[in-house]
Structure 1
């Protein structure tokens, strides 16, 4: 199955720390809506990854564009189409 993924690169760590709560709340709301299947930070604190549950790149881009991290320019979002060769586990 094909997915859209976003790799987020932190570009302003200080500013990002200030909006982190809003960023996480926004992503959690998208999870509740079924728009995001998985998310999480990289362990080296350089950014994170999102796996979208949407039908188009445009929809994923719109969600990314409305993320507080994008609005406040604390992270750079790189969106790519990704073919998953296994079944994603839930939970």
Structure 2
């Protein structure tokens, strides 16, 4: 988390954005870390670039409230 005050201010916009992405079928899972340092979103996308474009439009990122890391992930059962 980069800015606690902005985090509070932009939370409703961030949650609305995630809901929009869920409705588009782009979110596999999401949630906050219990230690309060941020959260995790697992996106469904065709490429790293697609995920990066989605993340860069998140109000938390746009506002500077939070940074991000992107990691490709393979699900195994």
TM-score by length of 1: 0.81
- Matched with 1:45 is 36
For residues 33 and 56 of structure 1, the distance between their equivalents in structure 2, rounded to whole angstroms, comes to 16
Q: Unaligned 5+ residue runs, structure 2?
A: none
| Structure with bigger RCO (C-alpha 8 Å, 6+ apart) | 1
TM-score by length of 2: 0.95
Q: Unaligned 5+ residue runs, structure 1?
A: 1-9, 87-91
Query: Which aligned runs of 4 or more in structure 1 are off by greater than 3 angstroms?
Result: none
Figure out how many residues of one structure are paired with residues of the other and give that number: 77
- Matched with 1:64 is 55
CA-atom RMSD, angstroms? 0.7
Deviations 1:17-47 (A, max 9, x none): 0100000100110000001111111011100
Q: Which has the higher helix share?
A: 2
